[in-house]
Amino acid sequence: MTPFIAFESVYARLLRSHIDTDQIIPARFLKTTSREGLGRHAFADWRYEEGGQLRPDFPLHHPSARGATVLLAGENFGCGSSREHAPWALLEMGFRAVIAPSFGDIFRQNALKNGLLPIAVDAGVHAALADAPPDATVGVDLGVIRLPDGQRAFYPIDPFWKACLAGGIDEIEYVLRQAEAIADFEQGAR
């Protein structure tokens, strides 16, 4: 993973609650053995007509969403299945962070492990972002965002994950260094 660098971006708005992983990436696209090629299928059933044409009314096709690297969504974003294809698809679509009132537990973990920041904000902060003009921008750093009016809003981030993201630390390498403790556990407990 490459170390996280703070950024600022316009943001796309998809203000539905409980957007499940079947919407983020429908199951028929999970037959791949690769992490790549999923971006064009993200939100496929909302984004395309049956014949494959873009649906102009889909919020992410709004001109103001062009170039957005942040997605603003409703509560419980990413509920449902454990498919890591969901963050892979969002990343390939160009997103680097999702801001929502809450997230599905497994999605949140999967997102963090791929450097897609899940940012949980309270209702006031969410409303400030949702109500801002279409060309508004948000600044994103680890543990804090800057709202369109310049105010800063802190959000919870696990200190371990903050360190991993900031340092680009590979989680598996980190655990492999504890092989001795794992072997001890296996000797003792089994």
Partner 1 sequence: MTQARTLYDRLWDDHLVVERPDEPALVYIDLHLVHEVTSPQAFEGLRRRGLLVRRPNRTVATIDHAIPTHDRSLPIADRVAAGQIEQLKRNCTDFGVPLHGPGSGRQGIVHVIGPELGLTQPGMTVVCGDSHTATHGAFGALAFGIGTSEVEMVLATQCLLQRRSKNQRVEVTGRLRDGVTAKDLILALIARIGVDGGAGTVLEYTGSAVRALDMEARMTVCNMSIEAGARAGMIAPDDTTFQYLHGRPFAPSGRAWDEALERWRTLVTDDGASFDRSVEIDGDAIEPMITFGTNPAQAIAIGGRVPSPTDVPAADREALTKALAYMGIEPARPILGHPVQTVFIGSCTNGRLSDLRAAASVLRGRKVHPGVRTLVVPGSEDVGRAAEAEGLADIFRTAGAEWRAPGCSMCIAMNGDEVRPGETAVSTSNRNFEGRQGRGSRTLLASPLTAAAAAVTGAVADPRTFA
The residues binding partner 1 (CB under 8 A) are 16-18, 20, 22-23, 26-28, 30-35, 45, 50, 75-76, 79-84, 102, 104-106, 109-110, 113-114, 158-160, 171-172, 174-176, 178-179, 181-182, 185-186, 189
**Which one, 33 or 67, has the nearer CB to partner 1?**
33
Smallest separation, CB 159 to partner 1 (Å): 6
What is the Cβ-side half-sphere exposure of residue 155, based on CA atoms within 13 angstroms? Answer: 26
Nearer to partner 1 by Cβ, of 11 and 103: the residue is 103
Q: Which is nearer to partner 1, 92 or 148 (CB)?
A: 92
Shortest distance in whole angstroms from residue 128 CB to partner 1: 17
Cα–Cα distance, 37 to 40 (Å, whole number): 7
Give the pairing type, strands 144-146 and 137-141: antiparallel
> For the chain, what is the total number of helices (H) and then of strands (E)?
8, 7
CA distances from 64 to 18, 38, 68, 125 (A): 23, 23, 8, 20
Nearest to 75, CA basis, from 99, 55, 47: 99
Minimum CB separation of residue 16 from partner 1 in Å reads: 7
Q: How far is the CB of 151 from partner 1 (least distance, A)?
A: 24
Place of tokens 């790549």: 36
Nearer to partner 1, 8 or 122 (CB): 122
